[in-house]
Each structure stands twice: as C-alpha cells, then as structure tokens.
Amino acid sequence: MNLEQLTSFSFPEIRSAYSERDTSLYALGVAACQDPLNADELKFVAGDALQALPSLSCVLAHPGFWIKAPELGVNYVKLVHAEQYFQLAAPLPTRGEVIGRYRVTGVVDKGEKSGALVYFEKSLHSLDGALLGTVESTYFLRGDGGCGNWGKPAREFPAVPAVAPAGTIEVPTLPIAALIYRLSGDYNPLHSDPTVARKAGFEKPILHGLCTYGIACQSLIRALCGSDATRLVNMGARFTKPVYPGEIIRTEYWHTEGNVQFRSLSVERNEVVLDRGVAKIVV
C-alpha cells in the first residue's frame, strides 16, 4: 500500500439522488420485512407509511470501490470491513438528493504479517447544506501491513456486558442475500464471485459487513423502538466474523446507562459476527 497516496487521496464530492424504490430495495437487502402481512414490517419496504432505516445513511452517496484505485497499491482482494458507526442529525427522508463528502482520517499499521486498519469518514448533507449525519468506517487490509501509521484511529466501542442479554431477535437470511444487497451500491466481487471469494480465503462469497450491520439495525428497531425507525439515532459495531448468505443472524441486546449495547451471532456456527455494538434510542 502507498501510504502517502492513501492519506492524500482526494475524493470527489458525491451528489446522489435516491427514491422510495432505493429505500425499499435497501430494506429488502437487509431482510427488514420477514412477514409481508405485518404492517410494522411492511412499512420499511412499501406503502404510504414508508420509513427509511437509519443505516441507509451508510450507503447514500456511496463512493464506490474507491480503495481499488491503482495508485493506492492496496491488495483489495483481502479487504474486509472492520467497523462502522453513524450519527444522524435528523431522520432520513425516504427520498431526496444528498451530498457526500469523504476523507481518510487515520491508518494503523498492525505489522507486516497482520495487516493495517484504514479509517475514513463521510459527512452527509442536504442540497441546502444542512448536515444530515456523519458515517465513520474502518477497513481491515489483511494484505497491507508494514505500511506505517498516520492520523488517528476512530472511537473505541466497549465490550458487551458479561451477563445474560435483556432480549434477542433472530432474522433468517436468503442464500441470495448478498446479490440483493449489492444492488444498493457495493459491488465488491468478494460478495458475488465464488472464484474471488476463494482467492480471499473464504469457501464461498460472504455477506457484506454492512448488510449484517443493517440487519442488526432493523432488529433493534423492531425489538426496542416499536418499529419506529426515527428513534434510533446512532449505532456502531465491530465486524468480527463473516456471515454466509442463508444463515440466521441472532442479535442480543443489553440496556446500559440510557443506551443499548448489542452483538450479533451466526446461529448455525454459534460465532459472533458483530461485536461491541452500541446504539442510542430516543423516546
């Protein structure tokens, strides 16, 4: 990896329009409607009462597979998503036009044999300049250790409590879940091409980390917000294991000091796939 090129990388300002169709497609991609006869679930994908999931902020004005740029010298085949966080200033509308402004904020070198972490941030604005929210992302570059450090790492997420969770919710995923989710803008072949997945060390294509993240988001909204998406205003988590499309994702949650902590597991493998989850829910 070329550290100088990465840290000075100039993102174009991204102006992006989205419609109710995009809002619905994203929700379907994160399995938000398990029962099409349930009005509380249907409102995330159809109808006059359509709501935008707050995690939609993570894909609006998406920069594409920017880290594949040749001048960066990144071994992108070995890239995995490490962490994600969003903070909304206001509920997202179900349609509109937004501006995304990106910047790299830090690089942490874990060593030549261990890889490197790259932190970058998006500020999301309406056309009149109002801040809609901020999204922070971390990529783990498994093949790019030994590059050096720069900037500063993102926030630390606390470990979940060492007690039984207050509740759980399970969401099954479809075998074609990654092929649906990729239509929201992330076309990394790791999630669709079996050959690329095997080269990256996986037995088959894995689910996008942000898809697992969106499933956890809608799970918390259904379990704790009365299916009112406007009540969840921020959320962060660490990606710890891949999910294979077709697996059931169980999200466990705890109430702590006015906030929520959570983690998500693959039921079939009994492995934690999202850890150190935090979320803020307002009345």
Q: Coil, strand, or helix at residue 238?
A: strand
H-type alpha helices, 71-120: none
Instruction: Quote the DSSP letter at residue 145.
Output: -
Say which residue the tokens 């969840």 belong to: 232
Token pair in block for residue 202: 């996986």
Q: Quick check: 50 and 24 in contact, CB under 8 A?
A: yes
Tell which residue, 218, 199, 181, has the closest CA to residue 38: 218
User: Given this model, what pLDDT does residue 72 score?
Assistant: 95
Per-position DSSP letters for 47-61, written without gaps between them: STT----GGGGGTTT
User: Given this model, what pLDDT does residue 152 score?
Assistant: 84
**Cα-trace Rg, the chain:** 18
What single letter denotes the amino acid at residue 250? Answer: R
In this prediction the pTM is 0.91
Tell which residue, 220, 53, 54, has the closest CA to residue 134: 54
Q: pLDDT tens digits, the chain, 283 residues: what are they?
A: 999 999 999 999 999 999 999 999 999 999 999 999 999 999 999 999 999 999 999 999 988 889 999 999 999 888 888 999 999 999 999 999 999 999 999 999 999 999 999 999 999 999 999 999 999 999 999 999 999 999 988 788 999 999 999 999 999 999 999 999 999 988 889 899 999 999 888 999 999 999 999 999 999 999 999 999 999 999 999 999 999 999 999 999 999 887 999 999 999 999 999 999 999 999 8
Q: Rounded CA gap, 209 and 82, in Å?
A: 8
Q: Quick check: 231 and 225 in contact, CB under 8 A?
A: yes
What is the CA 167 to chain-centroid distance, rounded? 22
User: Given this model, what pLDDT does residue 31 score?
Assistant: 96
Q: Kindly state the percentage of the chain with pLDDT values over 70.
A: 100
All structural domains of the chain, each given as residue ranges with its CATH number in brackets, are 3-281 (3.10.129.10)
Q: Coil, strand, or helix at residue 77?
A: helix
User: Given this model, what pLDDT does residue 87 score?
Assistant: 98
Tell which residue, 143, 76, 154, 150, has the closest CA to residue 116: 143
User: Given this model, what pLDDT does residue 283 score?
Assistant: 83
Spatial CB neighbours of 227, under 8 Å, sequence gap ≥ 6: 40, 41, 43, 221
Q: Rounded CA gap, 249 and 44, in Å?
A: 19
